[in-house]
Chain A
Amino acid sequence: MIPPFVVDNSPALMVIVPFVAAFIAPFAGRAAPAVRALVVGGAMAITSAITLILASDVYAHGTRLYVFGAQAATLAVPPDSGGIPVRIMFTVDPMSALMLVITAISAFAVVLYSLTSERHHSGLGSYYTLFLLMVTGILGMVSTGDIFNFFVFLEILSIASAGLIAFRIDGGVAVEAAIKYFVLSTIGALAILFAIGIYYGEYNALNMALIAQRIQFTLLDQLALVLIIAALAMKCGAVPMHFWTPDAYSMAPSSITALLVVASQASLYGLFRTVFSLYNITLNAACVGWLIIILGVLSMVVGVTMAIPQKNVKRLMAYHAISQTGYMLLGVGVGLAVLGNQPLLDAFGYMAMEGGIFHIINHAMYKGLLFLTAGAIFFRIGTYDLNRMGGLGHSMKWTMVFFIIGALAIAGIPPFNGFASKLMIYESVFAFNPVLSVIAMVVSILTLASFVKVFHSIFMGPVLPEYRDVREVPGPMLAGMGILALVVIVFGLFPSVVVETLVAPAAHALADQGMYIAAVIGGGA
C-alpha cells in the first residue's frame, strides 16, 4: 500500500517536504490565499503522514539509520574507515519515534487551526514559511544522530520560533518577548556549540553514538555535560531559568504557542538524549539524577504557584506548562538517579521513566489543546485578560467542552490521559522517595484549583452585555482542537496500549546505551 520508496527514504522526506513547502508557501500566497492554504495544509498532512509511517516502521523493526550522502542509506560505517561513522546520519530509535509522533499530531492539528485563526493578519506568507521551518527544526532535532547537526536544527528552530513569537508585534510587546527568548536561546545554543567543540577536541567525533562509545567523563566532559544540560533545561523552561517562557508563550499567536510546547519537549528530548545516550553510566547517575529531580520539583511548585495569581490566561497556561515540564523532569530524573542499579531500575526506575515520557506526549496534547482554546476565545472576544471575561459558555459550547477536556486532563482527573501518566509517576516516585510523590500530588491539586478558577471566570456566569453577540469559532479551528481532544480521550481510555506500544520501547531505548551504539556502529565494541 505504502510505496517502499517512501518508507525507505522517510527520514529524509519528512525534513525535505516541509523545507520545500516553506520555500513555495510565500509564492503560492501571491496567487491566492486559498492556494497557500492548500500548499501549507497539504505539505503538513504529507509530512505528518510520512512521520507516522517512519515512526510505525521504527516501532515495528527497530532503530532506523539514514546516512546522508553515503552509497547506501543504512551504511553508517564506511568499510575503509576503520569502524567510525563519518557522515551525518539520522538515528531514529523508539524515543525519537515517540517525539516524531507527538510532533506529527500536534503540528497537523495546529496547522488546521491556524489556517483559519490567523487569516485576518498580514505577512501570512512569511508566517507559514516560518511555521513549516519550525516543524522541520523539531523533526530534525529529535531524529538526528549527529551532534553538530542537532545544533543546526536547534538554531533553525529557535530562529523560526523567535520570528513567530514577534509575529503579532502588538505595540512592540511581542518583539520584546521575542528578544528575551532569542537572546537566551542564542546563548544556550552557543554553550551547546562549545560543548560540541569539546567533544570534537577530545574524541574527534561528532556522531553521538561514537562519542557515547568513547566517552571517559574527564573534567572536560563534565564541563561539556554542564553546558549542554543547563542550556537545554533553560530551553525547556525549567525553574529557575523559566523566565522567558511566560513572556514568549503569552505573546506568540496561540497556534504557535501550541507548537512552542512541542519545541520545548524537543529540548527536553535533547536533554534526556545527552544524559542517557551520550553519558549513561559514565556519569555519577545519582548526582545528575538528583539535579534533574530538584529542577523538576522546583518547576512543579514554582510553576503552579506562579500560575494562580495570573490575570492573562495565556501567561497562566504558560506557568502551568512549566509546572508540567517538572513532572517529566521528575519522572525521568528518578529513572536516571537509579541508572546502573539494575534491581532498583526494574523495581521502579523504568516505570518512572515511562511515566515521565508518557507525560511528554500527554502534555503536548492537552497543553496544545488548552492553548488553542485560549486562542479561540481571543479570536472571538479580542482579549486574554481573565478579569474581562465571563459567560462565554453560553455561546462557545464546543470551545467550552474542549477546554473542560484539556483542563481535566492537565489536572490529572480520571479517566483523561493526564491521570494515567501522573499515576505512574506518583507510584514509582513514591517507591524512590515519598516526599517527592506527595509534592507532585499537591501540585496536581493546585493545578486543578487553578483551572477551576479559569473555567469559572471564562465560561461560567451570566452572558455579559459586551459579549452578547459572540459566536462559536469556525469549523476548521474546532477541527484542530477536536483532533487533540480526541487524542486526549483515546489516550486516557486506553493508556495501557499507548504505554506498551509507544512509551515502554522509548524508555528502554533511552536507558539502553549499548543498543544505541550498536545500532550505529554495530557490535558495540
Chain B
Amino acid sequence: MKKVLVAAIFLVWAAGLCILPLLLSFGNPAATDMDTYFLRNGQAAAAANNIVTSVVFDFRGFDTLGESVVLFTAVTGVALMFRARKEGEEHEDE
C-alpha cells in the first residue's frame, strides 16, 4: 500500500517536473529585458568588465550580503554544536 502511494507521488512529481523541458526552451529565454539592462549598463554603472561581478556585487549586492550572513550563521551553528558543554546541562524527560 505504502509502496504504491510512494510510486504515485513520484509519478506525479515526474509528470509535474516534465512541464519544464516541454514548455521552456533552452538557449532561447522568453524575456530578457532585465538582463539586457545589466549587460548594457553593468560596465558603466558598476565599473566591472565582468557583468556577473557587477550583478553580484552591485545590482544584487544585498543578496550577496545575505549569502555571507548565511555562511556566518552556519559557522556559528556548527560552533554551537561542538562547544564545550557544562556538566549536567543536558536534560531528558523520561
Contact = CB atoms under 8 A, between A and B. Distances in A.
Check A-B contact in the complex, CB < 8 A: yes
Which of A121, A129, A226 has its CB near the most chain B CB atoms (within 10 A)?
A129
Given A149-B63, A159-B70, A69 B58 contact: yes
Contacts of B74: 159, 163
A198 B30 CA distance: 11
Nearest to A222: B19
Interface in B31-88: 31-35, 37-38, 41, 58-63, 66-67, 69-70, 72-74, 76-77, 79-81, 83-86
A122 B70 CA distance: 23
Which of A84, A123, A198 has its CB near the most chain B CB atoms (within 10 A)?
A123
A123 B80 contact: yes
A203 B59 contact: no
A126 B63 CA distance: 23
Interface stretch (A235-243, A377-385, A448-456, A460-468): A377-385
A82 interface: yes
A220 B19 contact: yes
B14 interface: no
Nearest to A170: B90
A130 B66 contact: no
A149 B29 CA distance: 22
A498 interface: no
Contacts of A169: 81, 85, 89-90
Q: Is the contact region of chain B dominated by helix, strand, or loop, or is it mixed?
A: helix
B64 to A, nearest CB: 9
Which of B31, B66, B81, B90 has its CB near the most chain A CB atoms (within 10 A)?
B66
Interface stretch (A97-105, A150-158, A434-442): A150-158
B24 interface: yes
A82 B37 contact: yes
A86 B19 contact: no
A312 B73 contact: no
A3 interface: no
A163 B80 CA distance: 7
A88 B62 CA distance: 7
Contacts of B62: 68-69, 88, 149
9 contacts: A121-B89, A133-B69, A149-B63, A163-B81, A166-B80, A170-B91, A220-B23, A223-B17, A223-B20
Which 3 A-B pairs rank lowest in CB-CB distance, beginning with the nearest?
Answer: A163-B77, A152-B66, A204-B31
